[in-house]
Structure 1
Amino acid sequence: MLLGQDGLVEGAGSEDGISESLELLQIEVDWESPERESLPTGAAACCSKNVQRKQKHWEKIVAAKKSKRKQEKERRKASHAGHTASCPQHSKRFLRALTKERLLKAKDSGPRLCIDLSMTDHMSKKELSRLAGQIRRLYGSNKKADRPFWICLAGFATDSPLYTECVRMNDGFSSYVLDLTEEDCFSLFPLSTLVYLTPDSEHALEDVDPNKVYILGGLVDESVQKKVTFQKAREHSVQTARLPIQEYMVRRQNEKNYHSEILAINQVFDILSTYFETRSWPEALKKGVSPGKGYVLQNSVG
């Protein structure tokens, strides 16, 4: 504003002068209060309040979700604790150690089962694969048994095609808890303790004796020749026995009129293992003799 020496406005009578003076006054005020530029306008203030309100709402949602997750975690923890109290959970390492201990105990106190693998030289690759699969299933059943047998694979060379097939098909085969030897089963045990199980024997097996060693011939259906295992047992003056299929089962009519008492080694083992635990031949035979063999339990015939 233009002031004279006496403090009076000069040129106040001019309308243009008043406008110019007002503009200068506005410039001076703005220059004296720079902080006014940083204050939000009405629209900006309103926008800021909306953002704050949404932020608070979002924080409430997040807090509620965290609280819900925490409650769910505590509920699962309490449920798991209750389940563990009634049914203790063990690590896989502990269970493997427990299984190994049970199998090793059978070496001293349980019955023995010897698989005679000395007749595999002329088997085809397909037959060897089937036999390797039967060995895997037999070992798996023995691991699960409450009263396991001690297993011995006799006449089994580590450089044989069968060994290669077992390693290929069976995970962890090299760590199986059993005996593996190239020696013949007839030179491993006293002959008086051996019982060769063969379907051609005249004597039905009546019981499973822990003091005996039961021998199974390592053959598959394709390679079975009549009385091969029976003749081999007689050559060494070894006792023979057959499963009591004829005593507890009867032939069942089928379209192919097929009936066979020749079983895979894992099926024979399932029968022996079940009988050793239950002392029931009907229950054991029902588990091991598949319907495809053409036999059923006597009391199953209507």
Structure 2
Amino acid sequence: MADPAEVDQEPFRTFGDPLHPSSDQLLSDAFPEMNSNQPDSAILPVQTKSKTALKKELRFQKRTERCKINRANEKLRRKEKLLASRKRMQAASTPEHPYVSRRVERRMARDKLTKALTEGVRLCVDMSFEELMSPKEIGQLASQICYMYSSNKKVEKPFCMHLTSLKQGTKLHEEVVKRCPGFDNYKIKVFEDPLEKVFQKEELVYMSPDSPNILERIDPSKVYVIGGLVDGTPKRQVSLSRAQALNCQSVRLPIAEHMKRSASHGNTILTLNQVYEILMRFNETNSWEQALDACVPRRKGFTVNGQADTPTAEEEDKTDVLQEETNRETITS
């Protein structure tokens, strides 16, 4: 029989006792991957890819490499094309028309527009007609503003462009910013105030097709105003009523005096950029015949007085039909 003193000295728990596991056993059971007796394959099982996945991965790698090669080749082709074009332009240059690179050309255009802000003839677009236009017409107006600025950069004597009543947060302002890339950097003057608060009424010359007065010359001391209105359905007397409300001078382009209508169909309304181009060309040439002939679209059905009438598409079709019938009768006889 064992001594009671020796029994009391034995530990109450022993290693490996299933009823009283040790801390190492608890960790081993909770995290089996920590058990060093298990093989590596049991710790990190190998994920094998299918043949289809491997083929897709291989095709993706080949396509990526091919795209890199194509991009490099395309970049080289563009560079060679640019160099060839530059050499042709340099060879064709003359002392009167020297070769100018695109970078220098852009810088010259910016300098001209900057100078025009202080010295150019003032041209203003009255943007106070937003309520009279549909969302589609507002978008078209924003595009025409972009066309006007693009044309203004290319002329020798650009106008000093102004936009009045263009308020931030409106649908019109959003469309202008959306459709005119880099609008915040445009070399133009933008005002949220209406036209009458920006200029004196004695300076204003409002362009209106309904005005009884004819624009005969461009006065550098005046501000020429174009109504910012796109009317899919013609709106009569709108710009003239605006000029009368401002108590300012109104004029119209001398189209009826220098051109004749050769076709009875077609829309005769001119867009903002077309009116601007007519004024710009007249400011350069001082000739209404040249300005109207160059800037009034042929589809409007107008020809300059003294020129032969340009046949319309419908008249050309009728001529072709008559010619075919004549040829058929000649063959039959």
Question: Please, what TM-score do these two structures have when normalized by structure 2?
Answer: 0.62
Among candidates 105, 112, 133, match of residue 122 of structure 2 = 112
Structure showing greater Rg = 1
Q: Per-residue deviation at 1:168?
A: 1.7
Q: Which residue of 2 aligns with 1:145?
A: 155
Which structure has more RCO (C-alpha within 8 Å, separation ≥ 6)? Answer: 1
1:70 match: none
**Change in CA separation of 1:80 and 1:136 when aligned onto 2, cut-off 3 Å:** closer
User: Superposition pairs for residues 114-129 of structure 1, below 5 Å?
Assistant: 114-129=124-139
Aligned residues: 225
Q: Relative to structure 1, is the Cα distance of residues 80 and 250 closer, same or farther in structure 2, using a 3 angstrom cutoff? A: closer
Q: Of 237, 241, 253, which residue of structure 2 is paired with 1:227? A: 237
Query: Does the C-alpha gap of structure 1 residues 80 and 111 become closer, same or farther in structure 2, counting only changes over 3 Å?
Result: closer
Cα 1:297–1:163 shift into 2, 3 Å: same
- State the Cα distance separating 1:288 from its structure 2 match: 2.2
Look up the equivalent residue of 1:297 and give its one-letter code. V
- SS across alignment from 1:196: strand
SS at match of 2:290: helix
User: Unaligned 5+ residue runs, structure 2?
Assistant: 1-83, 310-333
Question: Which residue of structure 2 aligns with residue 281 of structure 1?
Answer: 288
1:90 aligns with 2:101: yes
Structure 1 gap segments, 5+ residues each: 1-75
**2:125, 2:290 → 1: CA distance?**
24
Shift of 1:121: 2.5
Deviation digits for residues 109-159 of structure 1, max 9, x if unmatched?
221100000111342221011111111111111100100000001100121
Distance, in Å, in 1 between the alignment partners of 2:166 and 2:102 is 34
Offset at residue 85 of structure 1 (A): 8.8
**2:117 touches 2:187 (CA, 8 Å); kept in 1?**
no
Question: CA–CA distance in 1 between the matches of 2:294 and 2:149?
Answer: 16
Alignment of 1:239-250 (within 5 A): 239-250=249-260
Q: Does 1:272 align with 2:272?
A: no
Structure 2: distance between partners of 1:184 and 1:130: 21
Partner of 1:52: none
Measured after TM superposition, the shift of residue 253 of structure 1 is 2.7
Query: What is the DSSP-based 3-state SS (H/G/I as helix, E as strand, rest coil) of the residue aligned with 1:191?
Result: coil
Residue identity (%) = 35
Q: Tell me how large the CA RMSD over aligned residues is.
A: 2.6
Deviations 1:221-240 (A, max 9, x none): 32642101101111111000
Aligned-partner SS, 1:101? helix
In structure 2, do the counterparts of structure 1 residues 81 and 178 end up closer, same or farther at CA, with 3 Å as the change threshold? closer
Shift of 1:162: 1.4
TM-score of the aligned structures, taking structure 1 as reference length: 0.68
Is the CA contact (8 Å cut-off) linking 1:155 and 1:181 kept in structure 2? yes
User: Counterparts of 2:260 and 2:90 in 1: how far apart (Å)?
Assistant: 52
The 3 A distance-change label for structure 1 pair 85 and 233 is: closer
